Structure 1
């Protein structure tokens, strides 16, 4: 974004870093900073890694990865290496480093590919394979996502749903190849492919199941609601999966989604209840005439 003063960016950063503000306002500020980009925005985001909210810190790392600015690398390295951060936050830092795609990151990702926290280890394994794919096999057509996201793995060139489903659910395959199949199923967007993706919630890896929920949020397809609803309602499910299911329901934003989200606003797990709060705000945005979700620049200047 051009012609935005440093003062305006810092004011948005103040909203992000103010724990007295509702989580939904802080999320909008974060995504506004992501859209603005640049060193000042990155510095504002980095200050927030001392916050108490695991959900917010997870989203900070996600946004830094999506910005693909190498200025963020030292920040993300510190988060990944900090064992005091929740594994959900550290995992997202590892994924963000993979998204930035700098070959100089191979060493740190190799260091944490066997981390005691399985979510972190699996993420670094996938990120390592993504870096190698970018270096040696990158295909421009596969690199571009129609969902405007930097994905942890490029989609497979396979288009047969049954073949993709089989690869996705094959636990002897690498997570990277299974992710590739998952993103191909996303891109197909048929009832058959959505049902195949729904089977992904049966995978043994919580990281994998969380990515299925994230993909359903990108697709914003009502046909995925039964899978997401069941996942959010499963109190035995890993919180990183339930939180992603909540945000996906917020993106789809039907009356049914809103009703389910309201039921979990007081969930005992902070990550889940905060996700439901943010998801309800997303639902409100999706059903409003607002031009954009990341609108904090307007609110701080008005």
Structure 2
């Protein structure tokens, strides 16, 4: 197990390094010139040259990358070219908002989607299963931004209420924080609830065909015990893997939702930085998302091995 963890950690470091090269190259290849945007039409060629030297843009791309990578290894992502604020501070503040939203969506969707999947799988082919399946198809086919717009329209039209536009930290007021995140969370959670229900239903249907489940039914074991104590335990390993994938998907989906609801998360930070051609902020935000995704995959792999004794051996 220790050897596996060391190997996966080394593979994760290599993946982050390769991903950092791709991110740096993509950002540098983006159209538009930040120096020309900052100088404007009144800028002189001497001023532009001085600004390029100040930001290190007069160096070859590989020199810029090595200099940036050397600072990143020490935790220094540089400073925003627009605001002058350290990128680490901007990205950390935005990441805490995105992570909180993604975690809430994961918790809510798990608590609702898993029981729905268990119920649909146990009642496969029945009326309850048909209703849940229709729900799954509907929300899996619905774009997140469209669902968010419909929720905003419905709540404002029928309940005469609109979500607050100023973000409040949970450390300041947990109640106000949850009120602000309620609509964005619901917009993302419906899709994930449907995904959970579909995934769990499929595995429950397969598990119910096993001989041990038929034996339990023949002995008169209650359905709640069969599902909760036996079936759910057997699908726990693939479910943990699926949860990791869902969490990564949620982190990717917050970009649109944060922009729509005005949340100061990674999505909004990344969009604003892209429009402003603020390369250090774009690079820092993308690397943070990549590191989060790779870390989640690493954690899922370790949990997978820890839970399943066949993989440990």
What TM-score bracket applies, with the shorter chain setting the length? under 0.3
Q: TM-score, normalised by structure 1?
A: 0.26
Normalized per residue, the structure richer in helix is 2
